[in-house]
Structure 1
Amino acid sequence: MGNIVLRNVHKAFGATTIIPKIDLDIADGEFVVFVGPSGCGKSTLLRLIAGLEDTTGGTILIDGRDVTAEAPAKRKLAMVFQSYALYPHMTVAKNIAFPLKMAGETPEAIDRKVKDAARVLNLTNYLERRPGQLSGGQRQRVAIGRAIVRQPSAFLFDEPLSNLDAALRGTMRLEISELHNQLKTTMVYVTHDQVEAMTMADKIVVLNAGNIEQVGSPLELYRSPRNLFVAGFIGSPRMNLLEGAPAARYGAKTVGIRPEHIGVSTTAGEWKATVSVAEHLGADTFLHVNADGVGALTVRAGGEVGLGHGATVYLTPDLSKLHKFGDDGKALQ
């Protein structure tokens, strides 16, 4: 079981509030991602759950048990950090086995659990190597293996992929998602990368200045952002947000339209625009344009669109996908 419940949890350092009072429910077996910009409080919130930070107030329940005042070791959670924190003089097998040895398990049980974890993580052929002989992705898998053998109620990941290059991050995203599907264990994952959040999560918690802006599935946040912050944060490239005359025309303070919801033509459309930069990425082309009477926009077009700097295009927004926001920044129904 790995049900985690937060009630009125808050954290302050002196007179500075980092996490205002928040409530959150994480169901057993969910993959939940905390996402937000640097300094939004996502890592602090994870550390409160782990017990690495004391709460200023509120209650944390794990499987119905109040753990607010309990030490981290008693919460039955396993944390994987941004730094691998491996012992360089130990083999992979000994690194994975270390928490079991500290818990006093028998050599037979340790050997079995280490081999099981290694098989799940494709590390069987590397058990006798040392961390210095492994790639970054392999070292991260060893760190995850060390967490797996503890058979925790939930895994807590604190930006585990930020030290890896872009290609390896993509591979590790898939591996962690597949691991979750195999283990069916609750995972709480912190990242500033909304692409990681969108591709991995069952449920995303969007944080801003310690506040929970919105909780929902990736598609819920993409289709129905609750406010301007979520609208601008979720989605890559980010949503186009327009004020002034273009917004007033649709009865809103601000309107938003995603790059993929704007049609592109070289002959006719609602907005005439000039291409300033074209990013050709293979499957997609992202056009950064200046539209007459509208301003700067990013538009997603086909990968083989032969447009470049200075080209004239005509744009037509899909009005069924238009997002409207009021003076308070909240979505209008």
Structure 2
Amino acid sequence: MVKNLTADTNCNWEWIDLVNPDKTDFEEISQKYNLHPAVVYDSLQPDHLPKYEQIEDVAFAIVRVFDKEIGQDGDTVQDLTNKIAVFYSREFLITVHRDEYPFLEEIKKTLIETNHCKSPYHLFIQLVKEVLQSFEQPALKLATDLDYYESKVFLRNNPNKSLTTGIYWLKRKAEVSRRVLNLSKIVLDNLNREQKHDPYIQDVYDMYLRLLTMYEEVDNGANNLLNIYIGLASHRTNEIVRVLTIFSVFFMPLTFIVGIYGMNFKYMPELQMRGGYPVTMLAMLLITIGIYIWFRKKEWL
């Protein structure tokens, strides 16, 4: 579907919005605005990462917006984000995307219909700002989830597989989102190069740095929490092994004695002794006490 969002306004330039366009629609637009075939091809690839290119007087950029419908197990760039391709020059701005985004309509109402948008350049800055804002709420949710998992790690007595899985997915989402933001920096750098010290682009830069810091904190926190959890699980395992080892040390000499006197040889003098049984039991008791005293001295108990 092709929409001209500036058709009924006083703008002296055009904003063409293509929603899930077919081949015919895109061919007409590319011929009308003289778009290069290479960037047209890139704009149709759903998995393309953020980029920025300048071809003659037309700039081409790809940005990725956070997908609100993402499932619990999504952990790739393609799962977490959707692509928006943008072509712009002094005379036009073209947006290409597969899904409807409410913020595009909001931009039209607040900037285009009120004639507050000066040029395609400033419209693109606002578009990038809205794209970055789509990462804000997911970052806050990941931070909240991190606090939840942190309390579970330090308060649970037993390791839990679902807890480890949850921390892993949280870490992956923070990692992928941070990667997308890092790749998006090239778009901001090129916008800044066009008009240095523009207050609009500086505002977007501030938002970008804030979001990047939030995702880095979540990513580092999840990584540290995962390491702590694995360490605590290993410590619990070591405690169990230590207790079992102590029990085995206590019973090893006793089992040895029982094994000797349990052999069915005919000539075993101790078996004929009147006090053989109580002496053996006393010896086993003394060995047990000796092992206990030795463990206490070594501070193993």
Q: TM-score, normalised by structure 2?
A: 0.24
Bigger Rg, which one: 2
Higher helix proportion, which one?
A: 2
Higher strand proportion, which one?
A: 1
